[in-house]
Amino acid sequence: MTRYVDIASLEDIPAQGARLIRTTDGCVALFRTADNRVFALDDRCPHKGGPLSEGIVHGHQVTCPLHDWVFDLTTGAARGADQGAVRTWPVRVERGRILISAESLMRGKAA
Amino acid sequence: MKKKLVVIGAGMASGRLLEHLFETAPDAWQVTLFNGEPRGNYNRLMLSPVLSGEKTYDDIVTHDADWYAAHGVDCRFGQPVVRIDRAARVVHSNQSSAEYDALVIATGSAPFIIPVAGKDLPGVVTYRDLEDTDAMIEAGRAGRDAVVIGGGLLGLEAAAGMAARGAKVTVIHLMGHLMERQLDPAAGYLLQRDLERRGIAVHCKGATKAILGHDRAEAVLLEDGTVYPADLVCMAVGIRPETRIAVDARLEVERGITVDDGLRTSDPNIFALGECVEHRGQLFGLVAPLYDQARALARTLSGETAEFRPVQTATKLKVTGCDLFSAGDFAEAQGREDIVFRDPGRGIYKRLVLQDNRVIGVVMYGDTADGNWFYGLIKDGTDIEQMRDTLIFGPGFQGGSRPDPMAAVAALPPEAEICGCNGVCKGSIVNAVQGGATTLDAVRAGTKASGSCGTCTSLVEQVMRLTLGDGFAAAAPGGMCKCTDHSHEDVRRLIRSMGLKSIPAVMQELGWKSVGGCRSCRPALNFYLLAEWPLEYRDDRQSRFVNERNHANIQKDGTYSVVPRMWGGVTTPDELRAIADAADKYGVPMVKVTGGQRIDLLGVRKEDLPLMWADLNRAGLVSGHAYSKGLRTVKTCVGSEFCRFGTQDSTGLGIRLEKLLWGSWTPHKVKLGVSGCPRNCAEATCKDVGIVCVDSGYNISVAGAAGMEVKQTEHLAATPSEDEAVEIVTAFIQLYREHARYLDRPYKWVAKVGLDWVIAQVVDDPRNRRALVKRFETSQSVYRRDPWAEHSTPSETPRWAPLADLTLEAAE
Ligand code: SRM
Ligand SMILES: Cc1cc2nc3c(=O)[nH]c(=O)nc-3n(C[C@H](O)[C@H](O)[C@H](O)COP(=O)(O)OP(=O)(O)OC[C@H]3O[C@@H](n4cnc5c(N)ncnc54)[C@H](O)[C@@H]3O)c2cc1C
Ligand code: SF4
Ligand code: FES
């Protein structure tokens, strides 16, 4: 069962933008779309490590700022001809609060 | 003997429950009904028509005194239950008590009150019951100022109702578009437009800070400082399950009172239904699933096993003239596809979300006639493969036809002007075509249409296609990107002529095919809008490429480079010290002199940016915009102040131009050079604008390049006056801003429109030149400010850091 941790308010993330959570094993990016859905993905582009959190968010997709690969926020998969995927994490929004799976935050800690 | 049933709450859900119960088992239960409101059951949904005056309270009563009497219901209206004694199986109000064999809690929801100063003032209401409705009717009757906080279903019905009664209404909504839970931004935009047309002001992205007033509400203050006068404030920001008595009775309560599939709570003798319950983690806010609950609970109470299973619900807004419908799941996801239909002329937007050949979501605005048909397809999981192509046109699709993209052009009268530069109207073009001009060049030669700035080219082609039919072979039109078939030029023209002032407005009115655009059209639209409406449009940061959003260049490792402006390449020991201090303080791995006469600090961490900027600001340094499609550098040489060959003060002129032009956004980057004599040490003749000083004054040339292409500038003008030189340069840049397509450097744009046309605009026509300068100044009144200062304030700085840093904790 997924355990959820209250991490922030929806308002902390700009619509069509992202904010980061830094963990010992790299950053998790929390994206908020225009329709106020929130997605959590590793903040590392499988191409050359670009920070996806700095990409332009359009629909439920984000374009990597370094070389324009496009990723689906729901699955983390690259769109179009590009191959690769980013890890996604369970996240929920309840009454304006963002709850993220505890596992996403703890990785790197458990041996 | 009848068993005793006590019901707490006479609302929509319990009303339906009692109907089922009396129908199936008329003699099983002796019912006692408590209600907080001093009345029995009425149709709460219909409060909106009561508010707007379309109905009266009497019209919406569902169960009157006769009905209760006929079924022997012991009514205790105006008596809220204050305590449930589970051990003794008794409930208490302040006036009376009642014993039960079975108890039903149906207390509904309580409106959410945002905890701001002034929330308790008289004149602040919510929207839940008849009392609220009466207060709002009164405000309307008196023609007062009303503010509705919350642009969801309830808030908008409150706003429309009060407006219909005569109040002056403003809606304040926290999110970027109205009804964001039910609508996507495009439909939200249409809704807002329709509400504004009926005189309701809408303020999105507005966070309420306080309600002002002494003895009663007088105004609403927002976080951004805006104040709206308000004799009445309606808070409609959401609801939460009314669970207080259940919590006190120590029933199991999560967000709502938890119930199983038979609507039983954690106490086997107590049941609950309606908005106060939580079923399998889900809450309810619309009436349809509550009716299913009522049916299930009636069976449970009759000793049958019943299973409540929530169904998909559809939302409609009950505001006359605003037709919207949404149902199902319309989030994008892998494997899902959208079918989007937009009819800008009629303000219609429809979107279907498909997955595995099934419709799973629908959003419609403007024409919702087919809503229930689509809703049926969702509920039934109908395979739509066979009708996919025409699905969006609804059940009567045989007769449906796609809107003709040329219809707008076809509808133009012959005297409509097509080419603004040369004053050519549609009729002249049609005549030319009928007279034998079948190519664009021939039309251009015959009429001059599209012969100048070229932005009307595609419009001219559309007129030609209309006249020639299939006989016309246009050069491939080339849409801006895969989201639209409109060219950049078309989009700019339509933004202007149709008065489009936001990205969702452009996407809706011009029939965008994607949901939120893409990384290529969004920055372009953002530029076109801010260039066209500098005072009204607000820059959309989220539509900017990372460098412009973060005001620094991103590096391959995710760090940033910081380049402060050095006006005309001139600096001072104090500035250099401040740069050196910043480099030390933030551990900058590399300090480099750029090719643009300034200093680059490379490798800065994102969260350090605002701190470093604040330090640099204190030394008087501002952003160098080394990241922007805007003014970059003005490179100068030492000029007459020091150089033995200098003819004019090239350094001074460079600084003057940089101080005038900085901060402006342009289609691509703009670099200037000013050299003090023809030796040209500032390399002015390979810049976007180059000035070479001579004894007789200033030689201005434009459209140079030294990047992927190397190209010498072309002569634009010569003038003896520095002031006139400045004016010509400014006008040139404004002309470029108004006409070039996004990401064309000036040399590319000038090649398209021709240098002669540019000279005619900015050199030969002084009036036009001054008008251009004036428009540039208007825009600069907004944009000539340091973005670093705006982002390094105490409130902004934390936004640059991660939301949480869990590495620190681990290290401990
Ligand atoms: C820092 C600098 C190199 C240096 O160390 O000297 C530089 C660095 C970059 N240049 Fe440049 N250019 C720099 C002067 C130039 C010059 C020389 C000049 O301005 O006199 C040119 C040729 C002149 C010209 O623009 O025509 C130049 C032509 C380009 C081009 C090609 C533009 C073109 O239209 O062909 C690009 C690519 C682009 O903009 O699309 C580019 C793009 C870039 C980018 C922004 C690449 C990127 O997108 O990340 C580099 C950013 C590095 C960083 O993080 O700071 N840079 N770049 C120079 C900064 C000048 C400044 O003070 O702002
Ligand atoms: C203005 C308005 C418009 C709406 N429009 C729509 C619509 O178009 N479509 C739609 O599907 N839904 C709509 N809704 C929502 C819909 O009305 C609710 O989902 C529905 O009324 C909930 O029913 P309920 O029985 O759970 O609660 P309610 O109908 O709210 O009834 C609860 C009752 O319990 C009473 N009560 C509370 N606590 C106590 C207590 N301790 N003791 C005694 N009594 C108590 C309250 O006074 C209230 O009368 C609208 C709601 C409003 C306010
Ligand atoms: S030439 Fe410019 S863009 Fe190319 S590597 Fe050097 S700095 Fe980067
Ligand atoms: S690093 Fe993301 S596209 Fe190259």
Instruction: Quick: pLDDT tens for B84-122.
Output: 999 999 999 999 999 999 999 999 999 999 999 999 999
Mean pLDDT of all residues belonging to chain B: 90
pLDDT at A80 over 90: no
pLDDT at B403 over 70: no
Are B586 and B612 within 8 A, CB to CB? yes
Q: Does A92 touch chain B (CB under 8 A)?
A: no
Give pLDDT, residue B347.
79
Mean pLDDT across the stretch B599-621? 96
Mean pLDDT across the stretch B64-87? 95
Least confident of B99-113, B344-358, B500-514: B344-358
B443: confidence class by pLDDT, cuts 50, 70, 90: confident
Distant-in-sequence, close-in-space partners of B52: CB < 8 Å, separation ≥ 6 = B160, B161, B164, B165, B320
Q: Which of B266, B256, B264 is nearest to B305 (CA)?
A: B264
Choose between B45 and B279: higher pLDDT: B279
Q: Which of B580, B405, B591, B394 is nearest to B494 (CA)?
A: B405
B405: confidence class by pLDDT, cuts 50, 70, 90: very low
Percent of chain B with pLDDT over 70: 94
Mean pLDDT across the stretch B210-230? 94
Give pLDDT, residue B310.
84
- Domain extent for A63: 4-105
Choose between B419 and B462: higher pLDDT: B462
- In a domain? residue A38: yes
Give pLDDT, residue B578.
97
CB atoms < 10 A from the CB of B381, how many?
12
Give pLDDT, residue B810.
47
Give pLDDT, residue B54.
83
Query: What digits encode the pLDDT tens for the residues B147-191?
Result: 999 999 899 999 999 998 889 999 999 998 998 888 888 888 989
Distance between alpha carbon B807 and the CA centroid of its chain, in Å? 35
- With beta carbons under 8 A apart, name residues in chain B contacting A24: 806-807, 810
B475: confidence class by pLDDT, cuts 50, 70, 90: low
Q: For residue B99, list its beta bridge partners.
A: B90
pLDDT at B332 over 90: no
Give pLDDT, residue B474.
57
- In a domain? residue A53: yes
- In a domain? residue A23: yes
Are B315 and B327 within 8 A, CB to CB? yes
Distance B754 CA to ligand 4 centre (A): 38
- With beta carbons under 8 A apart, name residues in chain B contacting A65: 545-546, 554
Mean pLDDT across the stretch B776-796? 94
B802: confidence class by pLDDT, cuts 50, 70, 90: very high
At B107, is the secondary structure helix, strand, or coil?
coil
B408: confidence class by pLDDT, cuts 50, 70, 90: low
pLDDT at B345 over 80: no
Residues in the ligand 4 pocket, defined by CB under 6 Å: A 45, 47-50, 64, 66-69
pLDDT at A110 over 50: no
Q: How long is chain B?
A: 812
Are B739 and B782 within 8 A, CB to CB? no
B396: confidence class by pLDDT, cuts 50, 70, 90: low
- In a domain? residue A110: no
In this complex, the residue of A30, A34, A66 whose CB is nearest that of residue B516 is A34
Mean pLDDT across the stretch B552-557? 94
How far CA A93 is from CA of A8, A86, B130, B154, B240, in Å, comes to: 10, 21, 32, 21, 15
pLDDT at B255 over 60: yes
Q: Beta strands of chain A (E only): which ranges? A: 4-9, 17-23, 26-32, 38-42, 56-58, 61-63, 70-72, 88-89, 91-94, 97-101
The ligand whose atoms approach the alpha carbon of A47 most closely is 4
Q: How many domains does chain A have?
A: 1
Q: Which of B236, B182, B172 is nearest to B207 (CA)?
A: B172
Q: How far does A73 lie from chain B, in Å, by closest CA?
A: 7
Q: How far does B554 lie from chain A, in Å, by closest CA?
A: 8
Are B493 and B528 within 8 A, CB to CB? no
pLDDT at B673 over 90: yes
Give pLDDT, residue A111.
38
Give pLDDT, residue B457.
75
Query: What digits encode the pLDDT tens for the residues B690-743?
Result: 999 999 999 999 999 998 889 999 999 999 999 999 999 999 999 999 999 999
Percent of chain B with pLDDT over 90: 65
pLDDT at B451 over 90: no
Are B297 and B263 within 8 A, CB to CB? yes
Cα–Cα distance, B738 to B665 (Å, whole number): 11
Q: B interface mutation test: which of A58, A79, A88, A92 has the most B CBs within 10 A?
A: A58
Are B163 and B175 within 8 A, CB to CB? no
B401: confidence class by pLDDT, cuts 50, 70, 90: very low
Least confident of A49-58, B137-146, B386-395, B766-775: B386-395
Choose between A35 and B459: higher pLDDT: A35
Mean pLDDT across the stretch B760-770? 94
Sign of the Cα torsion B573, B577, B578, B580 reads positive
Are B159 and B172 within 8 A, CB to CB? no
Q: What share of chain A is helix, strand, coil (3-state, %, to 5)?
A: 10, 45, 45
pLDDT at B637 over 90: yes
Residue B481 is classified by DSSP as B
Distance between alpha carbon B626 and the CA centroid of its chain, in Å? 29
Give pLDDT, residue A73.
95
CATH classification of the domain holding A11? 2.102.10.10
Least confident of B339-348, B527-536, B669-678: B339-348
Mean pLDDT across the stretch A52-67? 94
pLDDT at B577 over 90: yes
Give pLDDT, residue B811.
44
pLDDT at B681 over 70: yes
pLDDT at B556 over 80: yes
Closest CA in chain A for residue B182: A35
Mean pLDDT across the stretch B657-663? 97
Q: How far does A17 lie from chain B, in Å, by closest CA?
A: 6
Distant-in-sequence, close-in-space partners of B220: CB < 8 Å, separation ≥ 6 = B147, B149, B172, B208, B210, B211, B212, B227, B228, B230, B233
B420: confidence class by pLDDT, cuts 50, 70, 90: low
At B708, is the secondary structure helix, strand, or coil?
coil
Those residues of chain B whose CB sits closer than 8 Å to some CB in chain A are: 174-177, 180-181, 184-185, 207, 238, 240, 255, 330-334, 514-519, 522-523, 541-546, 549-550, 554, 556-558, 799, 802-807, 810
Mean pLDDT across the stretch B579-596? 96
Closest CA in chain A for residue B207: A11
Name residue, tokens 């246009």.
Answer: B474
Cα angle: B170, vertex B349, B379; to 5 degrees: 105
CB atoms < 10 A from the CB of B28, how many?
15
Mean pLDDT across the stretch B439-448? 80
Mean pLDDT across the stretch A79-96? 88
Least confident of A66-80, B313-327, B542-556: B313-327
pLDDT at B453 over 60: no
Q: Which of B502, B572, B505 is nearest to B533 (CA)?
A: B502
pLDDT at B495 over 50: yes
- In a domain? residue A111: no
Q: Beta strands of B12-113 (E only): which ranges? A: 29-35, 74-77, 81-85, 90-93, 97-99, 102-105, 109-111
Cα–Cα distance, B162 to B139 (Å, whole number): 7
- Give B437-473 as a 3 state SS string: CCCHHHHHHHHCCCCCCCCCHHHHHHHHHHHHHHHCC
- For chain B, the straight-line distance linking the first and the last C-alpha, in angstroms and rounded, comes to 70
